[in-house]
Amino acid sequence: MAPASPHSTPRVLFITPELHPLIKTGGLGDVSAALPRALRELNVDVRVLIPGYPSVLAGLRDEQTIAQFAAQPPFPAARLLSSNSPASVPIFIVDCPALYQRDGSPYVDARGRDWPDNAVRFGLLSKIGAILASDASPLSWRPEIAHCNDWQSGLVPAYLHFHPGEKAVSLMTIHNLAFQGFYPPDTVAQLGLPLRSFGINGVEYFGGLSFLKAGLYYSDHITTVSPTYAREIQTAPLGFGMEGLLAARCAHISGIVNGIDTAEWNPSSDRALVRNYAAASLSVKAANKMALQRRMGLAVAPHIPLFGAVSRFTYQKGYDLLLQIATRLTDLPAQLIVLGSGDPALEQELTSIARQHPGKVSVRVGFDEKLAHLIEAGADSFLMPSRFEPCGLNQMYSQRYGTPPVVHATGGLLDTVVDCTPATLADGSASGFLFTDMTASSFLDAILRVRAAYQDKPVWRSLMHNGMMKDFSWRASAAGYRNVYLSLLT
Ligand code: ADP
Ligand code: GLC
């Protein structure tokens, strides 16, 4: 193990495939930007390692080449860059044009198919992460902890385990167990892992190599992004086949709920809004509703509840329920705005619902950060019928924007939204609506409850106000990660 620093300032390498605003497909991008910043405020010397996709290289301003890695098949030669901008956290970038310089998403081509060499692409990220976290590093700065995020960095703990020299301890954070990085068995040798790692007590998973399983098996500790999800993944079906391993490692699993970037998601200063507002000036929010209705081609109707949704379109997010109730919802009457992209079938079905309900339903296919902010502010209520949700960020953004969410009672949604009941209204904690059964009728019941509350002005104001007053900042969660780091170093 690397010589320990005074434990008040742990040195951490945070290895991640996404980092907002340089590259983001979902919440991992947001978390990778905000958590390291919050950790640095707690005196943790954290530095981030990411791949050099085109948008990352284009977004750097002060980069320097600090190391070169010779080609080592299947890995092409790569350079390591360092930069302090724009994240205000030191970042290392793996610049390997043969693997990362391509248009489109970090994970899939323009037609939505996984890049065929993803095992090598994220194998290299993991390999360089492990080198930097060991005595093989060309850098003078050596982390004591390699903090890995999702399957793309899952091989770091495995490489470290088999490294004979001094090395960091490793922490694996699960943001989503549904993505596992699964490859054919010959990938094990190809990526330079010893064949003895290919077994149930190792990287093997249903006859192939799973990057995520490698991380879960070899890491010194595991965290996931909410306490409820930490429990859910230890049993089927939300363990996605890893439940046995996770239950066996339960003494080494912690659930730490995500925070949000309260500077970036702040209704009183957000520049994507037409008018800024705060808990004390809630009536101003209506200007954003009107602008959103206009922009999305909906009837400008101040008193009809407007529901918003922003998401990746995948099975996880439960939009099939939304499709089933769309007509009932518009009949309430109510309006609906959906922004997202992903599964082509869902994109088409949602677009066709919008065509059937002109002026009432509007669907925008694509990724649009500014529109996402305006939806949080302009909608009256935000919909998240997720089948499972490790944490979820939008339900926290919407509470902060005075837009009470409707969520399925799962994972981090259950941990961050307080259902509206007479008791929670009375004690001032009610901040949204939960439904328990993953069915269209249960979802619709929750939406009917929204409509009733929306019509009762004092109740609706309390809901908006309660959500806006909640503290979703990273402070407490970052302290949780710091405690995990310190416990790993003692
Ligand atoms: P997940 O990481 O599973 O996608 P989260 O709720 O944790 O879910 O985070 C999603 C993040 O991605 C949020 O910041 C959300 O606003 C953003 N997002 C998702 N889809 C889009 C989109 N089409 N346009 C803009 N932002 C999006
Ligand atoms: C994943 C999860 C989401 C979580 C995010 C950040 O993408 O699906 O629930 O909020 O990671 O941790």
Q: How far apart are CA 84 and CA 278, in angstroms?
A: 32
Q: Which of 399, 404, 409, 410 is nearest to 472 (CA)?
A: 399
Nearest CA to ligand 2 atom 7: 27
Within 6 A (CB) of ligand 1 lie 26-28, 30, 310-312, 339-341, 367-369, 372, 391-394
Domain co-membership, 218 together with 283: no
Q: Is the peptide bond before 106 cis (omega within 30 degrees of 0)?
A: no
Domain co-membership, 337 together with 413: yes
Per-residue pLDDT tens over the stretch 327-340? 999 999 999 999 99
Nearest CA to ligand 1 atom 12: 26
Domain co-membership, 166 together with 306: no
Predicted pLDDT of residue 458: 97
Per-residue pLDDT tens over the stretch 227-261? 999 999 999 999 999 999 999 999 999 999 999 99
Atom from ligand 2 closest to the CA of residue 412: 9
Atom from ligand 1 closest to the CA of residue 386: 3
Residue 200 belongs to a domain: yes
- Check pLDDT > 80 for residue 201: yes
Ligand nearest to the CA of 370: 1
DSSP H or E run through 15: strand 11-15
Residue 356 belongs to a domain: yes
- Hey, what are 287's tokens? 């200007």
Q: Rounded to the nearest whole angstrom, what is the distance from the C-alpha of residue 394 to the centroid of ligand 1?
A: 7
Enclosing domain of residue 42: 11-259+474-489
Domain co-membership, 482 together with 462: no
How much of the chain is helix, strand and coil, in % rounded to 5? 40, 20, 40
Residue 147 belongs to a domain: yes
Q: Which of 9, 31, 7, 6 is nearest to 18 (CA)?
A: 31
- Check pLDDT > 70 for residue 4: no
Domain co-membership, 190 together with 336: no
Nearest CA to ligand 2 atom 11: 175
Atom from ligand 1 closest to the CA of residue 317: 3
Residue 297 belongs to a domain: yes
Ligand nearest to the CA of 311: 1
Q: Which residues lie closer than 8 Å to 337 by C-beta, 6 or more apart?
A: 292, 296, 298, 306, 307, 308, 309, 361, 362, 363, 364, 375, 379
Within 6 A (CB) of ligand 2 lie 26-28, 31, 175-176, 225, 258, 389-393, 412
Per-residue pLDDT tens over the stretch 51-95? 999 999 999 988 999 999 999 999 999 999 999 877 689 999 999
Q: How far apart are CA 95 and CA 49, in angstroms?
A: 11
- Check pLDDT > 60 for residue 1: no
Residue 272 belongs to a domain: no
Atom from ligand 1 closest to the CA of residue 30: 14
Domain co-membership, 222 together with 302: no
Domain co-membership, 455 together with 482: no
| Burial classification of residue 73, based on how many CB atoms lie within 10 Å of its CB (0-12 exposed, 13-18 middle, 19 or more buried) | exposed
Per-residue pLDDT tens over the stretch 394-417? 999 999 999 999 999 999 999 999
Domain co-membership, 30 together with 157: yes
Domain co-membership, 360 together with 484: no
Q: Rounded to the nearest whole angstrom, what is the distance from the C-alpha of residue 126 to the centroid of ligand 1?
A: 25
Domain co-membership, 284 together with 251: no
Ligand nearest to the CA of 364: 1
> The tokens 């809004």 sit on which residue?
273
Q: Rounded to the nearest whole angstrom, what is the distance from the C-alpha of residue 21 to the centroid of ligand 1?
A: 13
The model's pTM is 0.95
Q: Rounded to the nearest whole angstrom, what is the distance from the C-alpha of residue 340 to the centroid of ligand 1?
A: 8
Residue 357 belongs to a domain: yes
**Total domain count for the chain?**
2
Residue 391: CATH number of its domain = 3.40.50.2000
Domain co-membership, 235 together with 310: no
Ligand nearest to the CA of 256: 2
Domain co-membership, 157 together with 237: yes
Residue 1 belongs to a domain: no
Per-residue pLDDT tens over the stretch 440-475? 999 999 999 999 999 999 999 999 999 999 999 999
Q: What are phi and psi of 457, to 5 degrees?
A: -55, -45
Residue 308 belongs to a domain: yes
